[in-house]
Amino acid sequence: MIVGIDEVGRGAWAGPLVVGAVLLGGVEIVGLTDSKKLTKVQREMLDLEIRQKAMAVGLGWVSARQIDAIGLSSALKLASKRAIAHIRHDYKEIIIDGTFNFLGDSRVTVLKKADLLVPSVSAASIVAKVARDNYMKHLDGVFPKYKFKSHVGYGTAGHRKAITEHGVSSLHRLTYAPLQPYVSKKMNALTEIEKAARITTREIGDAGEDEAARYLQKKGHRIVARNWRTKYCEIDIISRVGGTVYFTEVKYRKNDAQGGGVAAITPKKQKQMRFAAEFFAAQQNIDNDMRLAVADIFGTPPQLKAFLELN
């Protein structure tokens, strides 16, 4: 019953700091190691297996603006606390990769190269890496001139060139020394690219549905339709796996303190979902096994907390 903790994004010039926390609870997963030693495909496959089999998985996010405001050490502490808050099971020990106890908990052991030596820490490094990489991939579409997908915010030559040409954005950590020459330019006005890239509430909701769709696809689902609606009803995601068709409602909350999204699926809402599923089946001449489900999504960037089939 060991909780492993590891961070991703400490040295990046842009984007959030992400800390992963995983309680495997005795589960054995083949292939766990430091996320940096795995290919993208290997990480994504292991990420799915970890989320399916681990007793608990938590992610703690701290934005670039928060890092600038409180400093990197405080940001690591905050992200670690946010990650461990998702571990709602009893555990005996916390092992943090590195040399510093960010949590100040008496149960903490710090260990260099723990992401190579301790399976739960390896798992934490993988889920944090996959989550952050996916978020930076999403931002690549929002801020295309920076090409975040290729360098995920780290100080590569290409990233440096983009900053030289376009200045810094709200995603950049302005307290980092390499970005200091651009701070005054940033303070004068928002760059045109940033003005054009402000994320709307609708886009945040779409990102939540994207996260739910990715989860379903990793589970082997083929997405049949998204945001299917008629005058009478609507369904967020319709997917098929094997001979079963799933009708999934995506419930998004800005933060985990707003209560469970699953709780919003009242008996009345389930009745509406059932009607929508039957309506879709009648339109498409479907006679397969049909299931109702809910994806509980929270946070910015969106994270999947739970996926549950409904009775």
Find the range with the poorest average confidence among 46-60, 159-173, 254-268. 254-268
Task: Identify the band that residue 254 occupies on the pLDDT scale cut at 50, 70 and 90.
Answer: low
What pLDDT is attached to residue 172?
92
Find the range with the poorest average confidence among 11-20, 181-190, 215-224, 225-234. 181-190
Is the distance from CB of 162 to CB of 190 less than 8 angstroms? Answer: no
Task: Identify the band that residue 186 occupies on the pLDDT scale cut at 50, 70 and 90.
Answer: very low
The residue-averaged pLDDT of 171-193 equals 69
What pLDDT is attached to residue 10?
93
Domains, the chain, with CATH or none: 2-135 (3.30.420.10), 139-196 (no CATH), 201-309 (3.40.1350.10)
Q: Does 249 or 265 have the greater pLDDT score?
A: 249
Find the range with the poorest average confidence among 144-158, 177-191, 198-212, 241-255. 177-191
What pLDDT is attached to residue 187?
43
What pLDDT is attached to residue 202?
57
Beta strand extents in the chain (DSSP E only): 2-8, 17-23, 56-62, 93-97, 108-111, 222-229, 234-241, 244-253, 289-298, 303-309
**CB within 8 Å of 91: residues ≥ 6 apart:** 1, 2, 3, 23, 107
Q: Mind listing the pLDDT tens digit for each residue in 260-272?
A: 555 567 788 888 8
Q: Mind listing the pLDDT tens digit for each residue in 4-47?
A: 999 999 999 999 999 999 999 989 999 999 898 999 999 999 99
DSSP at 153 = T
Provide the sign of the torsion angle of the four alpha carbons 41, 131, 208, 57, taken in this order. positive
Q: Does 248 or 305 have the greater pLDDT score?
A: 248
What pLDDT is attached to residue 258?
45
What pLDDT is attached to residue 288?
78
The residue-averaged pLDDT of 148-152 equals 94
| pTM summary value | 0.63
Residue from 128, 130, 127, 82 nearest 102 by CA: 82
